[in-house]
Amino acid sequence: MFKARVKRSELPAKSLLHKRRADGDFLDCYSVASDLPPRQAAEIITRFPAWAEALLRLRGILVAPFGLSKSGPEATDKLGIFPVEHDDETEVIAGFNDRHLDFRVSVMSDNGRISLATWVHRHNLGGRLYLAAIMPFHILIARNALARVRRAST
């Protein structure tokens, strides 16, 4: 019922992720009606439900032999495992660079909507394969996260 309110959308024009975007990079964006500030929405988004936590644990087991990060780098400000690199009244950006890809997520408040955007720059074949493998789960998790933001907004 809430998923119908989550829409695939364009990255808001004011987003700082536009500065990172280059040809060949992956970028998707979903949005939902919400009056929450971006930091509060980001905290909801990164509080994964049990089924998503189980998927992340499985991911950690599967990528361990390849030396990929399971918990993200150390940082004084984190949302879940994601170090925060930008936080203001309209947008929070978090993420990190890994061996196979660099990624950032943006949670932005714009015109009564919260947008959740994911930017990925793949470094190599491993990054391309990884992104292809997680894509169905990424979409499920992103849409579910915004549905939870929507519920918290009402």
Describe the chain by its helix, strand, coil percentages, rounded to 5. 40, 30, 30
Q: Edge-to-edge strands of the sheet including 78-79?
A: 7-8, 26-33, 113-122, 101-110, 91-97, 82-87, 78-79
What does each of the 154 residues of the chain score in pLDDT, given as a tens digit? 444 489 999 999 999 999 999 999 999 999 999 999 999 999 999 998 888 888 878 877 877 777 666 666 677 898 988 899 999 999 999 999 988 899 999 999 999 999 999 999 999 998 999 899 889 999 999 999 999 999 998 6
Residue type, 110: D
Q: What structural domains does the chain harbor?
A: 3-153 (3.30.530)
Q: Is the dihedral of CA 38, 118, 146, 131 positive or negative?
A: negative
Distance CA 65, CA 42 (A): 30
Predicted TM-score (pTM) of the model is 0.89
